[in-house]
Structure 1
C-alpha cells in the first residue's frame, strides 16, 4: 500500500512538473493586406520569424515598442522577440485571409523568460555568434520581401541594343542600403553577365577636371543570374553598407557583358542615395 501511494505521488509530481515546463504559445494571425501591430512592454531589440512568408519589421535605428507583422500564404511559423531588458517573447504565427484583430498589446506576463541569467560576457559572445549565423538568412528574407513589393523610388533607367538596366528602388534597413535592380533583355540574343558593379564617382574641381571612381563591395547579393535569356527580365538585389553622398558625388552602376559589347553605365544621383525608402 505504501509503495502504491509513493508511486502515485511520484506520477502526480512528475505530471505537475512537466505541465510547468510546457509553455503553450499564443497564436497571432497576419496577412499581406494589413499590418498587424504588436506593442511590447519594453523597446524591441531583436525580432525574428522562422519562415520566409512572414516579415516582422521594427525600428532598428532607434529602439521602439512597436513591431509590424505581415504574412503571405504558406505554412505556419514562429516569431521570437527580444526586448531591450532581455525579456523574451515567442508566438506561433499563421496566415489568415480575414483578420479579426489588428493590434496586440503584449503584457510583461506573456514573456517566456529572460536571456540574462547567463553571465554578461557569455551573452555578448552568444549574441555575436547568433548575429553572424543569421545575417545571411535575414538578408535573404528581407530581399525576397522587397522584391514582392511594388514600391518605386523613381525613373532610373538606361538602354543599349535591346538591353535595359534600371534601379527600381533603394531601401534603407538597419546598416544597409538595398538596391533593387532590374535587367530586361528584349533582344534576340542571350546576355551573359560578366559583372555588375556599383561605384562612387567623384568629380575633381580645378583647371584639370577629372573623375575618381571607388568600387563599393556588396554585403550580400540576391537572385543574381549568370545569364539573362532573350526576352527575359530578371530582378535582383544588391545590399551595400549604408553611405551618403555630397552634391559632387554620385553612384554608378555598371553592367558588363561577357564576350560582348552591350555594356551599360547607369548614373544614380546623390538625391536618390540620400533619400531611400
Structure 2
C-alpha cells in the first residue's frame, strides 16, 4: 500500500519541487467506530492515505468538500488531499480509541502548496522521490506494473462473484485513479479439471440479452493486464488486475464479465451493479 501511495501521489501531481523549510504537519485521529468528517474550503479532487488500516472516502463522481476518515488499529500514516482549486493539504493520521473531535473544518492557511496548471507541485514539505516513479499522463508501463502489484497487496474490499460448475469468477477490489480504473479479479477452480482461459471480456450493458431490441453492450477494453494466467489448475486460485478506462454506470446499466474456456464449453457470465 505504501508503494501504491507513492506511485499515485507522483502520478497525480507530476514533478515535485520542494522548498528549503519543511512544514510541521497537523495530526488527525480516527477509529473504526465513528467517522471523522473533514470539511475542506473547496471541493476534493483526490485524497490518498498511505496505509491500508486507514480509509478516506469522498464523492468521486460529483466533487464535494466533505471527506470521511476511518481507521482500524495499526501504525500511523499520512493523508494527502488535493482540492479542485489546486491546493494541497497533508496530515499525519493516527488511530485513537476515542475521538476528541468528530468534525474538522480546514482553512486555506493549512495548505502546504498548490498544483500548477502544468500539473507540477510547489510544496513546502520535503518529499523523498524516486525518479523512476515520476509518471505523466501517458501512464508508462512501469507505473501500471507497480500500481497493479500494489493493488494485489491491498485487502479485499469487494466480493462480487459468480460460480458455475466448480469455477468461480470474482471482483475483489476496485480503485479509481484519474481516467483509469484498476480492477482486481479472482478465478478459483474447484471443478477437478484445469480451466484454460480463452478470454475475460468486460462491458457495460443495458437491457436483457434475450430481448435484442433493448439490449446494448459497450465493451471496456483494458489498457493493461497484469498477471492474468493462461490457465487456472484444479485447486488453484488466480488473482490478476485489469487497468480499464474510467467508467460510470447509469441507472439501468450493469457491469458484465464474460470468462470463456479455451477449447471447452464452460463460460461464466457475471452481470452486476457495483
Verify same fold: TM over 0.5: yes
Distance 2:236 2:222 in 1: 25
Asked if the contact 2:189/2:234 (under 8 Å) is kept, the reply is yes
CA shift for structure 1 position 54: 3.7
**Partners of 1:172 and 1:21 in 2: CA distance:** 33
Secondary structure, counterpart of 1:23 in structure 2: coil
Q: 1:207-226 alignment to 2 at 5 Å?
A: 215-219=219-223, 221=225, 224-226=228-230
Q: Deviations over 1:5-60 (max 9, x none)?
A: xxxxxxxxxxxxxxx93411112233455433211122222223334554322222
After the TM superposition, which segments of 4 or more aligned residues of structure 1 sit over 6 Å from their partners? 137-144, 168-174, 176-180, 211-214
Match runs of 1:133-212 below 5 Å: 136=144, 148-149=156-157, 157-160=162-165, 162-165=166-169, 181-199=185-203, 204-205=212-213
- 1:148 match: secondary structure: coil
- Cα deviations by residue, 1:196-242 (Å, 9 ceiling, x for unpaired): 1224677654xxxxx99764312455674444342344565645442
Which 5+ residue runs of structure 2 have no aligned equivalent?
1-19, 122-134
Flag the structure with higher helix content: 1
- State how far apart, in whole Å, the 2-side matches of 1:46 and 1:85 are: 11
CA distance in 2, matches of 1:114, 1:250: 38
- Give the 3-state SS of the residue equivalent to 1:21 in structure 2: coil
Equivalent residue in structure 2 for 1:253, among 257, 261, 274? 257
TM (norm. structure 1) is 0.60
Q: Please name the residue that 1:16 is paired with.
A: none
Gaps of 5+ in 1: 1-19, 117-122, 206-210
Q: Does residue 59 in structure 1 map to residue 64 in structure 2?
A: no
Tell me the matched-pair count.
234
Query: Which is greater in Rg?
Result: 1
- Residues 187 and 239 in structure 2, CA contact (< 8 A), matched pair in contact too: yes
Query: d(CA) in 2 for partners of 1:178 and 1:267?
Result: 18
The answer to whether residue 44 in structure 2 is matched with residue 36 in structure 1 is no
Q: Distance in 1 between matches of 2:58 and 2:67?
A: 5
State the TM-score, normalizing by the size of structure 2. Answer: 0.61
- After superposition, the CA RMSD in angstroms is 4.5
Checking the alignment, whether the CA contact within 8 Å between 1:157 and 1:167 is kept in structure 2 is: no
Contact 2:76 2:93 (8 Å CA) reproduced = yes
* Distance in structure 2 (CA, Å) of the matches to 1:246 and 1:37: 28
Q: Which string of whole-angstrom CA distances, capped at 9 and with x for unpartnered residues, describes residues 53-101 of structure 1?
A: 543222222221111223455543322222233332111123x262424
- 1:243–1:183 CA distance, 2 compared to 1 (3 A): same
- Work out whether residues 159 and 171 of structure 2, in 8 Å CA contact, stay in contact via their aligned partners in 1: no
